Amino acid sequence: MDDEGYIAERLQESGLTKKIALKALENLLRFIYTSSYQGKAVRSTIRNYEMYFSEVEQLMLYRLETRCTGSERFNYGINAVIAIKRDKYTCQVCGEKDIRCLEIDHVNGRTHEKKNKEQYYEVNEFQTLCANHHRIKTVVERQQN
């Protein structure tokens, strides 16, 4: 995370030479690997450049895209993407780092469910949890209500 050398290496490895293609790939790498990048990713761009990413990275790209610009954008938004990068893709309870089983939790529940796009959740309203700890938190919360 936040390793400029790694981004540069990946760009070089791609073999891409056109400026516009390199910029598109750079933006996707920044989307998943740099905490300061707050741009969004678009599905068509991911599709065009997915061959430059591993299977796990492709999963990350598509899942984060769904939450910041796709079908789940009203329940999450770009702040969810910023939060999972803040957590360095790590479960905040057990330290699990396997992206395949990580989820983005609404810390205080989905209180904004009916809000529109101008009312995204704040970054601090999200945390990264593994699927098990997310399930456990949900069950505990249900028992308390």
Measured between its terminal Cα atoms, the distance across the chain in Å is: 38
Cα angle 49, 55, 59 (rounded to 5 degrees) comes to 80
Q: Which amino acid is at 88?
A: K
Say whether residue 1 binds Zn ion (CB under 5 A).
no
Do the Cβ atoms of 41 and 31 come closer than 8 Å? yes
The least distance separating Zn ion from the CB of residue 93, rounded to whole angstroms, comes to 4
Task: Compare residues 96 and 125 and give the one whose CB is closer to Zn ion.
Answer: 96
Task: Compare residues 50 and 87 and give the one whose CB is closer to Zn ion.
Answer: 87
List the one residue from 1, 56, 94, 136 that touches Zn ion (CB under 5 A): 94
Say whether residue 91 binds Zn ion (CB under 5 A).
yes
The least distance separating Zn ion from the CB of residue 95, rounded to whole angstroms, comes to 7
The least distance separating Zn ion from the CB of residue 131, rounded to whole angstroms, comes to 8
List the one residue from 7, 93, 101, 107 that touches Zn ion (CB under 5 A): 93
In DSSP notation, 65-124 reads: HHHHTSTTTTTS-HHHHHHHHHTTS--TTT----GGGEEEEETT-STTTT--GGGPPPGG
Residues of the shown chain interacting with Zn ion in the complex, contacts defined by CB under 5 A = 91, 93-94, 96, 130, 133
